[in-house]
Amino acid sequence: MGGHSNTGLVQITKAFVGLMSGVELADPQQMRVYAWERKFRYSEEETLKKSGIQEWVNWACDMYAVPHILCKPDPNPKAKISHYWNDNKISLARKHMNMMVCLHEAAHGIHTHYFGFPAEAHGPEWLGIYVRLLTKARFAPKIAITASLEAAGLLYRKGCVSPGTLKKKGPYNR
Ligand SMILES: [Zn+2]
For every residue of 70-127, DSSP letters joined together read EEEE-SSTT----EEETTTEEEE-GGG-SHHHHHHHHHHHHHHHHH-S-SSTTSHHHH
CA distance 140 to 60: 16
Ligand 1 centroid – CA 56 distance (Å):
16
Return the pLDDT at 1: 36
pTM for the whole thing?
A: 0.84
Write out the residue range of the structural domain in which residue 73 sits.
28-169
Is residue 11 included in any domain, yes or no? no
Ligand 1 centroid – CA 62 distance (Å):
20
Return the pLDDT at 174: 64
Ligand 1 centroid – CA 34 distance (Å):
8
Return the pLDDT at 173: 87
CA distance 138 to 21: 32
Query: pLDDT of the chain along its 174 residues, tens only?
Result: 333 444 444 444 445 454 555 445 699 999 999 999 999 988 999 999 999 999 999 999 999 999 999 999 999 999 999 999 988 999 999 999 999 999 999 999 999 999 998 889 999 999 999 999 999 999 999 999 999 999 999 999 999 999 999 999 999 986
Is residue 76 included in any domain, yes or no? yes
Question: How many folded domains does the chain comprise?
Answer: 1
Is residue 6 included in any domain, yes or no? no
